[in-house]
Chain A
Amino acid sequence: MKLDRRRFFGSAVGAAATAGVAAKWTWPKYSVSYQRPLSSVAVLNANAYSEKLEALLLDGLRLFRLDVAGKSVLLKPNLVEDLPEPVNTNSVLIGAAARCFLRLGAARVTIGEGPGHQRDTELIVQTAGLEPHLVDRRIKFVDLNRDELERVPLKASYSGLHELWLPRAVLASSFIVSMPKIKTHHWAGVTLSLKNMFGIVPGTKYGWPKNLLHWSGIHESILDICATVPIHFVIADGIIAMEGNGPLQGDARQLGKIVLADDPVAADATCAGLMGFDPLQVRHISEGSRFLGNLHENRITTLGEDATTPLRPFSVLPEFQYLLASGTQPFTARQRSD
């Protein structure tokens, strides 16, 4: 067949368009990978926010043999509103974590949060009872909504945002610990260590709430943020968790667990399992397992007790029934044999 110029041009355009579409769907949207050969998770039992938490947490952290000596540690709790338990990560746990990292040799600990709705961060800090835990001069609180900012290119391209302004306190930290409250979330399904990183995005630039992230896709924005600011460790507060219409209006759920992990995807998968959810149904967890951490149970080892699923799954809004791990094997991490 003779290929005239018009037909050749049409074919070339068609091929280019096909290649473009194919590339969009197959080309990786991330330029980094934080996956390790084997991730570790520990699930600690704790039924109350008591003074005993610090010793329990220190023992748990020692299982991971963390190297935080001389490092600047940022604890990123989930402080959302000036509301009582179980909306925010409990201050007793935050304070215990701060002191534990100092005892493990950290040079300083910054507790940083940029609440998403309530603009008066001081009000949240007061209501949460965090102030008594800030007496050690090596522990300070930074309002990430109003910190100095730097423009940072994103290391993934799910949201289409390309770049974000991020707080210096976050960028200057050498060890970032995400400390979520284990909760359901009426837009994202769950709010765990990955979703918790929304709080590093500054309100001064993006508002209260950081609505641009919602318009750019919640799951997509989570993936881009966590690709750009890697989470080094997770301490998830599930002593009293939240079910139902979270993250603000749900019901307290006594779970009695603290989840520790050196991998945010493994942490979130474990937490989702504890909630009775299938982590594969949470888009940012399943997609995050390509590059942010490990989801497959063969690549996760449990240091403490088994991450067993609850007798009764967390209640969810009708829109999120698909999260429930019915008909599939509930997620459980592999017990380390050594």
Chain B
Amino acid sequence: MSGILQLLTLQRRDGAWPAFRGDPGASWTTALVLCALNGTGDFASARESAFRWLVAERGREGHWFWRWKFKTADRKVRFDPEKYGWPWTPGSASWVIPTAFSVIALKQYTVCNRLEASEKRIRLGVEMLLDRVCVAGGWNSGNSLVYGVPLRPHVEATAIALLALQDEHRSVMIDKSLDLLKRRAASVDAITSLAWCILSLFVYQEPVDGLKNRLAILIGDGKKIQDNAALATAILALNCGEMIHPFVILR
């Protein structure tokens, strides 16, 4: 609880959260905090203002001028600029991971009462994710083709994008992406990527016990992990099935 109270003191007036303590700017972490608060079912005012900020926030290509530019003059990167999501930081373009986190947070927050505006924003985010999917499934950081050459999927981006799409119609591309994640999960030995694989495969009701055992061996006593985000993700993954999944979307 003290962690949540600390988070609440860091919320900006506009409802967003900064990337870290001391940072005055709004950031992608707002979606993560909303997910954390959604799990408590409390702190209605903080969640409502975060929700409003997220609904209003958009990638820079969401502006008509940039949509026009990417449609007409700048076609080096293949994507549909009509389908925009969320940026890492205000003033930049949409990317897969912040969009996926934002979609999850909005879906969770509005699960009992989804108004038209939030439904529209969620759909746009989902369509953005589906538009950016790699040729053979999975997701890179943002786009699928640059200069006509396919980009390869990243494990973490694929796992997090699939979390955002867990309640969507199981399209061929979602199935392909899930297959890809299962294959990569079987061999990846990096803690963060493996942890995200577990968190994602679990909500698709795939077996994760073997992966959890491998993750536990990789972590050992945890002393080698320098990064708090990696440690936190690993703890969530190891507790998958034994606690409320922070990224589950109720249907």
Residues of B within 8 A of A220 (CB): none
State whether B20 touches A149 (Cβ < 8 A): yes
State how many angstroms separate the Cβ of B195 from the closest Cβ of chain A. 10
State whether B97 touches A143 (Cβ < 8 A): no
Interface string of B192-215 (1 = CB under 8 A from A): 110000000000000000000000
Residues of B within 8 A of A248 (CB): 151
Segment 241-257 of A: residues with Cβ below 8 Å from B: 245, 248-249
State whether B19 touches A122 (Cβ < 8 A): no
Of B20, B76, B88, the residue contacting A207 (CB under 8 A) is: B88
Residues of A within 8 A of B228 (CB): 146
State whether A120 touches B155 (Cβ < 8 A): yes
Contact A211-B149, Cβ < 8 Å, known A117-B140, A165-B23? no
Instruction: Tell me if B92 counts as interface (CB < 8 A to partner A).
Output: yes
**Chain A residue at minimal CB-CB distance from B196:** A120
Segment 150-192 of B: residues with Cβ below 8 Å from A: 151-152, 154-157, 188-192
Instruction: Tell me if A168 counts as interface (CB < 8 A to partner B).
Output: no
Tell me how many residues of B have a C-beta within 8 Å of chain A. Answer: 41
Instruction: Tell me if A34 counts as interface (CB < 8 A to partner B).
Output: no
State whether B23 touches A186 (Cβ < 8 A): no
State whether B147 touches A245 (Cβ < 8 A): yes
Instruction: Tell me if A208 counts as interface (CB < 8 A to partner B).
Output: yes
State whether A120 touches B141 (Cβ < 8 A): no
State whether A126 touches B190 (Cβ < 8 A): yes
State whether A143 touches B154 (Cβ < 8 A): no
Q: In the complex, A203→B22 CA distance in Å?
A: 16
Interface secondary structure of B, over-half rule:
loop
**Chain B residue at minimal CB-CB distance from A145:** B227
Instruction: Tell me if B138 counts as interface (CB < 8 A to partner A).
Output: no
State whether A186 touches B190 (Cβ < 8 A): no
Residues of B within 8 A of A211 (CB): 87-89, 92-93, 95
State whether A212 touches B227 (Cβ < 8 A): no
Residues of A within 8 A of B72 (CB): none
State whether B95 touches A118 (Cβ < 8 A): no
State whether B92 touches A212 (Cβ < 8 A): yes
State whether B190 touches A204 (Cβ < 8 A): no
Instruction: Tell me if A209 counts as interface (CB < 8 A to partner B).
Output: yes
State how many angstroms separate the Cβ of B216 from the closest Cβ of chain A. 16
Residues of B within 8 A of A123 (CB): 155, 188, 190, 192-193
Segment 148-205 of A: residues with Cβ below 8 Å from B: 149, 151, 165, 186, 203-205
Instruction: Tell me if B60 counts as interface (CB < 8 A to partner A).
Output: yes
State how many angstroms separate the Cβ of A119 from the closest Cβ of chain B. 5
State whether B142 touches A209 (Cβ < 8 A): yes
Q: In the complex, A248→B188 CA distance in Å?
A: 21
Of A119, A207, A214, the residue contacting B154 (CB under 8 A) is: A119
State whether B227 touches A208 (Cβ < 8 A): no
Residues of B within 8 A of A212 (CB): 89, 91-92
**Chain B residue at minimal CB-CB distance from A187:** B76
State whether B147 touches A186 (Cβ < 8 A): yes
State whether A119 touches B88 (Cβ < 8 A): no
Given contacts A203-B88, A206-B89, A208-B88, 11 further A-B contacts (CB under 8 A): A118-B154, A119-B141, A143-B227, A151-B22, A204-B20, A205-B89, A207-B98, A208-B97, A209-B141, A215-B93, A245-B147
A→B interface (CB under 8 Å)? 83, 117-120, 122-123, 126, 142-143, 146, 149, 151, 165, 186, 203-209, 211-212, 214-215, 245, 248-249, 317
Q: List 15 A-B contacts (CB under 8 A).
A: A120-B190, A120-B192, A123-B155, A123-B188, A123-B192, A146-B229, A186-B146, A203-B88, A205-B23, A207-B92, A208-B88, A208-B97, A211-B87, A215-B92, A249-B151
